[in-house]
Structure 1
Amino acid sequence: MKTVLLAGAALLALAAAPAWAQGPVSGTVADARTGEALPGATILLDGAAGPVTDATGTFTLPVVPAGTHEIRISFLGYEPVVRQVQGQEGAQQLNSVLQPGAVLTGEALVTASLASDRTATAYTNLGKEDLAKRNFGQDLPYLLDQTPSVVVNSDAGAGVGYTDIRIRGTSNTGINMTINGVPLNDPESHGSFLVNLPDLASSINSLQVQRGVGTSQNGGAAFGASINISTLAVRREAYAETQNTYGSYNTWKNNVQFGTGLVGGHFTFDGRLSRIATDGYMNRAASDLKSYYLAAGYQAKNTLLKFITFSGREKAYQAWNGVPEPAITGNRALLQTYVDNGELTPADAARVLQEGRRYSYYTYDNQTDNYQQNHYQLHLSQGLGRDWNLGAALHLTRGFGYYENYRTRRKFVDYGLENVVIGNQTITRTNLIDQKWLDNYFYGGTFALNYQPKDNDKFQATIGGAANRFDNDHYGEVIWAQYASNGNIRHRYYFNTATKTDNNAYARATWQVLPRLGVYGDLQVRHIEYNIDGKEDDQNDVTTRARYTFFNPKAGATLTLGEGQQLYGSFAVGQREPVRSDFTDRPAGDQTAQAERLEDFEGGYRFSRSGLALLGPQTAVRLEANGFYMNYQNQLVATGQLNDVGTALRTNVARSYRRGVELSGFISADDKVSLSSTLTLSQNRILGYRDVSYDADYNPVVAAEGRTTTISYSPASVSAHTLEGQPLKGLRLALLYKTVSRQYLDNSASAARSLRPYQTLDFRVRYTIHPTFMKEIELALLVNNVLNREYEANGYTYGYVGASGQPETFNYYFPQATRNFLGSVNLKF
């Protein structure tokens, strides 16, 4: 911590250096009707491209030369504003409001799902610039690491490949993600596998993280949070950009982005091509990721039509097994216990001692996951008279791929093969290579009808909904065997098919009852039908028939205390069906997994002010304190175990809760230095929990008495802090500090089965220049884990009666990279 304080003091000292002779101009851009910030507004200085406003609607022109200049502020869907400024020494503040124009923004469908100060929920907005300064090629969760209550981890250890995000202790299976209002979560597993969409962050215009149940949205229920992504921005000017990164573990990111701007007053075309590759921090944990993004749009006075397609293809060496505990501790006696119980072979144990915390279980050179996901979206925004507009979308997601495994001494009978007889010898087992395939289609339509009176913004309403279907084939094939038996190449040894329909409708309204008091209401009905037919890889019949109808009400109120001050409170219900593994990883015919119900109480205080006399005219301050109580019925919690493809196994617990407080603050002074901090303190408890252990015959033994215990993977405290300064024109330095308290791998609250608390410090530097021959050159460097800490951010556990006749516990961890770097050269034309 001493290092952090010393580095912070040095950064503040640099930031206090004298300003350059020609002063900056800063300002804010907001909607003239509602006063809400407009992120992504374009700023032109004397016709030359300048910055865009960030998530708070703020912009800064670092230097405006002496004399009279014209600043033009524009945002699609609003009338542009032109302001005159005089270049002078010293900072100037320029705050502007834009009037809605005749052209639609194209985000009628997206904004229908977003939270605002009127919806009385906890949320964080990030704009394109916020994401860009964090984007060195790591996966999207790592770009959100400094937002409240977030914990991230990486299978390969360095943020590229398979990554995961938890918010308030809830994994991504409980985080609803949408792209342009279209669900991203896999309908069966509820997971959002962002490895399938590498470099998606480079095409994001804005992003909102809602914590808790939030507002009604398309897709699965939000049981910890929701992440709403928009790529629908229209850039009026032609552009070309390229980002190029190289870093530790032979990590590369290369992309090109391009767009025509507005052609003929009606048409736009945008695109991106990307490749990200790395060897990974863990041994044999390489990833090779490719993606594209293409969009074509047409806009008229009251109509915007946009077709978007984006795709990602990934090949990642399997690192989801983690490493055994002795690889972390070096404990040879414990290592022998793993060998004695068949968890590791003697050869594996020798490699554990040789490779240490970077150990990888697999040695087959093509032990890889291979998957491609193609997305197609057609969006319509249509004005319907003066006060109404419609957003609608058709979508199709095509996914297909497999993971390949080398397996030793497998029984022929388990693969539907006959034993091999050679002379008098009967061979019942063989080494083989199999592939497990997914082949799926997800398609449907969404809509949102918005009532937004132009003359009176006291009442606004939305009616929306969606109808979606998912078809998914699961099957396995043997592509090679030491003894082929009666099989042929691509012998199919299991097959099952799943179909799921998900229909929902919602109505939402905000009403400003009194000048200082507003209320909010939201009602959603969601109906799901889920069918599975066939056998799983263990030859168990996984036939499933499940039907659910959920009614999810939400309500809230906001009270304005004064300029920039607000109190809010809300209540929301979220209900969610079990995921596929909750059915298939149970004994055959067992469909006892129950739907979850969450009652979410949120309340807090917001303060936002700029130009405080005490701190100077260019100061901006934002503070928020949010309290939450999330009361669950039949919550599905992780047991700490994984299935054979790395999916967490879960069990229903009758009663549980999460309660806590989220504190966040931001202060900036004259765009020279800023500090943002978040701190979450929480209790995450299961009531009446009964531990499950196993006897010598591997039969489960349930504890006779229940007790209160901590929910797995739920830290009691999480904090994130960013200190950023601009000591010289175009040069920005930042320190990013993160702390996460102890997390338990199962629900026993045992320190012996837990992730140790950890703290990390990152350093970032960005230097931007604007030469005459191009718009911008940026040189950037990110040093992760500056203090070179060895820590683990994820893991799993299981136990049984071992060879000694005593209960044994086996812990596996996912070590994260020690000190490493990523350096970028980014060009804009």
Structure 2
Amino acid sequence: MKLFLKQNFKKVKQLVAFLIIAFSINTNAQTLFTLSGKVVDGNQPLTGASILIKGTSKGTTSDLHGNFKFQLKKGNYTLVVSAISKPKEIKVNLNKNKSITINMADSFVNLEEVLVNAVRVKESSPVTHSNITKEELAKRNLGQDIPILLNYLPSVVTTSDAGAGIGYTGIRVRGSDATRVNVTINGIPYNDAESQGTYWVNLPDFASSTQSIQLQRGVGTSTNGSAAFGASLNILTDAISKYSYGEISSSIGSFNTSKNTVKFSTGKINNHIEFAGRFSKIDSDGYIDRAFSNLKSYFLQAAYVDDNTLIKALTFGGKEKTYQAWYGVTKEEMATLGRTYNPYSYDNETDNYQQDHFQILWNQKLSKNWSSNIALNYTKGKGYYEQYKANQNFADYNLIPITIGGETIDKTDLIRRRWLDNDYYVANANATYKNNSLEIIFGTSVSYYKGGHFGEIIWAQYASDSQIREHYYNSNTKKNDANIFGKLTYKLTNKWMLFTDLQGRFVRFKTAGITSDIIPIKINKNYSFFNPKAGLTFKANNSNSIYFSVAKATKEPNRNDFKYGVNTAEKLTDFELGWRYKSENVAVNTNIYYMKYKDQLVLTGAIDDTGDFIRATSGKSYRLGLEIDGKIKLNNRFNWQPNIAISSNKNLDFVTSWNGELVSLGKTNLSFSPKIVAGNSFTYAPNTKMYISLLSKYVGEQYMGNIDNKNSKLESYFVNDLNFSYEIKPKKIIKSIVFTALLNNIFNVEYISNGYYYTYDDTWSVPGETTTLDGAGYYPQATRNFLVGATLKF
């Protein structure tokens, strides 16, 4: 044995050494180190921040004190940290236990976001919502209006009078029209105070001055202006740029469409002051015959910012001239004269309007817990639409019959203008208190609107005793609107969060005079509303959360409703139950909603002589639906974003006039409320320079009236668009050149997204009896068309 050991001692030593080294290497490989840290916003701990390890499924969130911890092997890691901010990547070389501090202050647009803090919700709030960034808007921003750019969001249906997405465009969410979608710009109400509608034609190319948009579906959170009965759309305008830049953007496309935009920013001068602006011009002949648009707009901003203060002075607006296309086309006209037929032929049958907005926004960080926000707004709007009318009765224009050659003349051909002249003043003020587990926002908003309606005849074949610029009708409206609100978000535990929102709203509406129908109108109404909301969010783990909310909303009629005899406020209780899942590569939002209405003001399907839809009270009604949307990263090059909304939308006790009698139809479908709305986006990005996306939209069949008449049905449609973007970065002078293309309706589908339906009593067919007849008009949308553009960034 001794001889054996002596002869093999060297080999034994080598074997033992090898085993020691191997054991040491293996032990080192299996050793786990602790990576701990704290996420802060400046000097304040940041609760609920998401920390993911890039390229793995590992993740966590910061606790009440901003702390987090991982157990990891030795190696290099990239942490992806996000909160109510842009994601921030932190690289860590882990070869021992390590503690780090991650300051997210430079990833927040803190003071900018506070401008809309009172009307927006956070990712974890129990409110169903979608967020759209500036970058997402830019990919398709070639001249079309904001509703068209939002077309692929869940439960959204859009339309265009001219058929090409430029000019008069509209949006419906969950079947609710634009009068029920509350729109704010920097927290300032944008809906017209009288009609409660939104007219995007007055703000052409506004997407080029938009930083972000949040669409809340359902009642959502309390906001300023009239209550949201289908959705609220909150727009934040351009943030302050740290660096100076210049942009020139031009695009051309089908129907002689062109857009030219110039943007600039001085960047922060002395690290505090910025001046920025945009000027745009858009022209389009439209898909419908003569439905041209001539649009001009501007956006100017002066700002001061430091660590605690943000002050902005903004002015923006637009001037539009659009040819009328609101009358639509009948099925018979489409069959004989074509889909693009326009019954208007007078060469200046146009809408002419200018709207200018002036805002002062001041956000102040008062301490580590308190901040305040004050906003002032003045909006001036004035314009008219011009029409040629044949064989008009003198009596309809307050004209006296005349006698020529012994013949009494009491009818004439004429050209008329109907004017709007309005002023709108708003003041908002709110304060925010925030600590590790609590956020309280409380404030008020007051507004005053005055608007004049009048008409004039600018030419007549027989002028009677009229004087030039004489008003043949006049009426004036005044509206006072005030609200007070308080919102609380409280983190009960690490898993449970409570949200409450209380709003009191007070409205006074007065109008008097003569309408355009030469009918006296006198309204003096006061409304007081209490709109409470509450919800809970349960965070099961880092990937899954569930929320439930109940919200009440009450809303006054608009001017047209009063004109047609409606003065009852409508009421809504909105129940929302949702589940959110989020991992590194997959995000899914699912929610069920039940919206219970009392005296809902539904679209009857009919339109008035200015193309506005007429509404009526429906009694009891509801909307019940399921919405699912997702963002799925298939790999580093492919992304998939599907969404679908399936709903049932019913009147429960609908009553209508038919053959001269009131008839109870009971349960019927709500107008303009398709059962299925689906959107889809497949995106291929082979590198950071190129982007190709196939966008799809399906809208199920829908009724244009509430009586389930087959003549009022709009057929379902499925359309697809192709979006392309490519960036070149030259080495000198020009920082970037971005080429963008949009091929709309690539399969050349002939579809109709909107229309109107009406009934009328006929006593001529059967003498002595009243027979109800009906008719319909349609707004055909463009077949295959394109837009291409280039943006030069300096």
- Please give the TM-score of this superposition, normalised by the length of structure 2: 0.87
Following superposition, the deviation at residue 546 of structure 1 comes to 0.9
1:673 pairs, out of 600, 614, 638, with 638
Question: Is the aligned partner of 1:520 residue 2:502?
Answer: no
Following superposition, the deviation at residue 820 of structure 1 comes to 0.4
Equivalent residue, structure 2, for 1:556: 535
Matches within 5 A, 1:594-609: 594-609=568-583
Q: Is the 8 A contact 2:84 2:123 kept in 1?
A: no
Q: For the structure 1 residues 369 and 654, does the alpha-carbon distance in structure 2 shift closer, same or farther, using more than 3 Å as the test? A: same
Following superposition, the deviation at residue 35 of structure 1 comes to 4.3
Q: Is the 8 A contact 2:537 2:545 kept in 1?
A: yes
- Percent identity of the aligned residues? 41
Matches within 5 A, 1:421-432: 421-432=403-414
Q: For the structure 1 residues 37 and 464, does the alpha-carbon distance in structure 2 shift closer, same or farther, using more than 3 Å as the test? A: farther
1:487 pairs, out of 460, 463, 466, with 466
Following superposition, the deviation at residue 801 of structure 1 comes to 4.3
Matches within 5 A, 1:37-76: none
Following superposition, the deviation at residue 77 of structure 1 comes to 10
Structure 2 unpaired stretches of 5+: 1-38, 52-75, 94-100
Equivalent residue, structure 2, for 1:468: 447
Equivalent residue, structure 1, for 2:705: 746
Greater mean alpha carbon deviation, residues 103-112 or residues 200-209 = 103-112
Following superposition, the deviation at residue 356 of structure 1 comes to 1.2
Question: Is the aligned partner of 1:783 residue 2:743?
Answer: yes
Equivalent residue, structure 2, for 1:146: 152
Look up the SS of the partner of 1:772 in the other structure.
Answer: coil
Following superposition, the deviation at residue 750 of structure 1 comes to 2.1
Q: For the aligned residues, what is the CA RMSD?
A: 2.5
2:686 pairs, out of 713, 727, 731, with 727
- The CA distance in 2 between the partners of 1:528 and 1:747, in whole Å, is 29
Look up the SS of the partner of 2:698 in the other structure.
Answer: strand
Equivalent residue, structure 2, for 1:213: 219
1:222 pairs, out of 215, 223, 228, with 228
1:186 pairs, out of 180, 185, 192, with 192
Q: For the structure 1 residues 158 and 232, does the alpha-carbon distance in structure 2 shift closer, same or farther, using more than 3 Å as the test? A: closer
Deviations 1:11-68 (A, max 9, x none): xxxxxxxxxxxxxxxxxx9977144689xxxxxxxxxxxxxxxxxxxxxxxxxxxxx9
Question: Is the aligned partner of 1:659 residue 2:624?
Answer: yes
- The CA distance in 2 between the partners of 1:641 and 1:36, in whole Å, is 50
- The CA distance in 2 between the partners of 1:759 and 1:494, in whole Å, is 45
Following superposition, the deviation at residue 488 of structure 1 comes to 1.7
Equivalent residue, structure 2, for 1:381: 363
Following superposition, the deviation at residue 694 of structure 1 comes to 4.4
Following superposition, the deviation at residue 265 of structure 1 comes to 1.3
Following superposition, the deviation at residue 628 of structure 1 comes to 0.2
Give the letter aligned to residue 625 of structure 1: T
Question: Is the aligned partner of 1:283 residue 2:257?
Answer: no
Give the letter aligned to residue 674 of structure 1: N
Following superposition, the deviation at residue 504 of structure 1 comes to 0.2
Q: Is the 8 A contact 1:106 1:380 kept in 2?
A: no
Equivalent residue, structure 2, for 1:582: 561
Equivalent residue, structure 2, for 1:613: none
Q: For the structure 1 residues 730 and 102, does the alpha-carbon distance in structure 2 shift closer, same or farther, using more than 3 Å as the test? A: closer
Deviations 1:331-371 (A, max 9, x none): xxxxxxxxxxxxxxxxxxxxxx3x31111011000000000
Question: Is the aligned partner of 1:644 residue 2:609?
Answer: yes
Equivalent residue, structure 2, for 1:693: 658
- The CA distance in 1 between the partners of 2:354 and 2:184, in whole Å, is 19
Q: Is the 8 A contact 1:718 1:741 kept in 2?
A: yes
Following superposition, the deviation at residue 450 of structure 1 comes to 0.4
Question: Is the aligned partner of 1:398 residue 2:380?
Answer: yes
Deviations 1:151-193 (A, max 9, x none): 0000000100000000000011000000000000001100011
Following superposition, the deviation at residue 142 of structure 1 comes to 0.8
- The CA distance in 1 between the partners of 2:700 and 2:533, in whole Å, is 32
- The CA distance in 1 between the partners of 2:386 and 2:411, in whole Å, is 19
Following superposition, the deviation at residue 222 of structure 1 comes to 0.3
Give the letter aligned to residue 381 of structure 2: G
Question: Is the aligned partner of 1:448 residue 2:427?
Answer: no
Equivalent residue, structure 2, for 1:794: 754
Q: Is the 8 A contact 1:321 1:361 kept in 2?
A: yes
- The CA distance in 2 between the partners of 1:516 and 1:176, in whole Å, is 32
Give the letter aligned to residue 749 of structure 1: D
Look up the SS of the partner of 1:727 in the other structure.
Answer: coil
1:817 pairs, out of 770, 777, 782, with 782
Give the letter aligned to residue 810 of structure 1: G
Give the letter aligned to residue 289 of structure 1: L
- The CA distance in 2 between the partners of 1:674 and 1:72, in whole Å, is 19
1:196 pairs, out of 190, 196, 202, with 202
Equivalent residue, structure 1, for 2:115: 109
Look up the SS of the partner of 1:514 in the other structure.
Answer: coil
Q: Is the 8 A contact 2:339 2:780 kept in 1?
A: yes
Equivalent residue, structure 2, for 1:292: 298
Aligned length: 716
Q: For the structure 1 residues 202 and 71, does the alpha-carbon distance in structure 2 shift closer, same or farther, using more than 3 Å as the test? A: farther
- Please give the TM-score of this superposition, normalised by the length of structure 1: 0.83
Following superposition, the deviation at residue 82 of structure 1 comes to 9.1
Deviations 1:550-573 (A, max 9, x none): 000000000011112100000000
Q: For the structure 1 residues 692 and 776, does the alpha-carbon distance in structure 2 shift closer, same or farther, using more than 3 Å as the test? A: same
Equivalent residue, structure 1, for 2:392: 410
Look up the SS of the partner of 1:323 in the other structure.
Answer: coil
Look up the SS of the partner of 1:107 in the other structure.
Answer: helix
Q: Is the 8 A contact 2:420 2:451 kept in 1?
A: yes
Deviations 1:504-558 (A, max 9, x none): 0000001111110111111000000000010101211111011100000000000
Look up the SS of the partner of 1:376 in the other structure.
Answer: strand
